């Protein structure tokens, strides 16, 4: 079965710093990903999706996709304490019928 | 914004008892999903449905049944609850637009099986 692996498991960055999160899929047919953010005690909300090779930027958030290596990364610049959350990566599964999630990266931004 | 509600928001059940978790969406979405979340496991898909009166197995369907009586409603049924089913359960919906494919999640139900 396809695995979606995220690293690191947890990350602490100083306020104003850069956070970098990684995600890979074991399924060679996967060529797009989603990133979700889940604050403590809340439900996940989609942050960004990426469907083509390269980079996509939305405000302080940038997502990279390398289809050849089945790897995506999320970068948060000028990190804020409000960015502290669990970040989940998802890849298409079962021929794109649903999304399969990784175990997440817990980000803590400290003042 | 898309709306997904779940009931109950929390529940304590006894081992061997029957539990029904309910989900309602007002988004007019075709697809609905049930996930469970445990520490260290992210979100794992239990069952999903893309049309009323039909359900499909996800990655971890054992011990769970699902029911989709209408486009708006999707239930998860634990016929014989077990300790290992203690978790937070999320329902989600999405539309058919593959280019968008954003899932909207409900607030979750915290289930404790004693």
Q: What tokens does A36 get?
A: 């979700």
Band the pLDDT of A29: cuts 50, 70, 90.
confident
Inter-chain CB proximity B48 and A97 less than 8 Å: yes
Residues of chain B in contact with residue A46, where contact means CB-CB under 8 angstroms, are 102-103
SS (H, E, C) chain A: CCCEEEECCEEEEECCCCEEEEEEECCCCCCCEEEEEECCCCCCEEEEEECCCEEEEECCEEEEEECCCCEEEEEECCCCHHHCEEEEEEEEECCCCEEEECCCEEEEEEC
A 10 A CB-CB count for A59 gives 8
Of B40, B50, B105, the CB nearest to A44: B105
Alpha-carbon dihedral sign for residues B86, B82, B58, B49: negative
pLDDT digits (tens, 9 = 90+) for B53-91: 999 999 999 999 999 999 999 999 999 999 999 999 999
Alpha carbon separation from A108 to A5, A38, B63 (Å, rounded): 20, 12, 35
Whether B43 and A98 lie within 8 Å, measured CB to CB = no
Contacts of B58 in chain A (CB under 8 A): 98
Look at residue B87 in the predicted model and tell me its pLDDT.
Answer: 97
Q: Is pLDDT of B98 > 60?
A: no
Per-residue pLDDT, averaged over A63-71, amounts to 88
CB within 8 Å: A101 and B33: no
Q: Which range has the worst mean pLDDT, A5-9, A13-17, B28-32?
A: B28-32
Q: Select from B17, B10, B13, B19 the least CA-distant residue to B113.
A: B13
d(CA B25, CA B33): 11
**Backbone phi, then psi, for B32, in 5-degree steps?**
-135, 150
Q: Does the pLDDT at position B97 exceed 70?
A: no
pLDDT digits (tens, 9 = 90+) for B23-58: 999 989 999 999 999 976 789 999 999 999 999 999
């Amino acid at each position: 079965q396809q695995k979606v692996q995220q690293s690191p498991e947890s990350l602490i960055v100083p306020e104003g710093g850069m956070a970098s999160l990684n995600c890979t899929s074991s399924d060679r047919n996967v060529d797009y990903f989603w990133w979700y953010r889940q604050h403590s005690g809340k439900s996940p909300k989609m942050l960004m999706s990426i469907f083509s090779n390269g980079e996509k930027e939305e405000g302080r958030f940038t997502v990279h996709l390398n289809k050849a290596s089945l790897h995506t990364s999320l970068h948060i610049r000028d990190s804020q304490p409000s960015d502290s959350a669990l970040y989940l990566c998802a890849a298409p599964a079962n021929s794109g019928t649903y999304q399969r999630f990784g175990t997440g990266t817990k980000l803590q931004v400290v003042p | 914004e898309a709306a997904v509600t779940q009931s109950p928001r929390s529940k304590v059940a006894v081992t061997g008892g029957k539990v029904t978790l309910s989900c309602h969406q007002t988004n007019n979405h075709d697809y609905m999903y049930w996930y469970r979340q445990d520490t260290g496991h992210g979100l794992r898909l239990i069952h999903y449905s893309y049309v009323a009166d039909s359900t499909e197995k996800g990655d971890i369907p054992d011990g769970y049944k699902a029911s989709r009586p209408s486009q708006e409603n999707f239930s998860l049924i634990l016929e014989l609850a077990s300790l290992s089913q203690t978790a937070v359960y999320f329902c989600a919906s999405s539309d058919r637009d593959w280019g968008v494919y954003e899932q909207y999640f409900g607030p979750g139900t915290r289930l404790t099986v004693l």
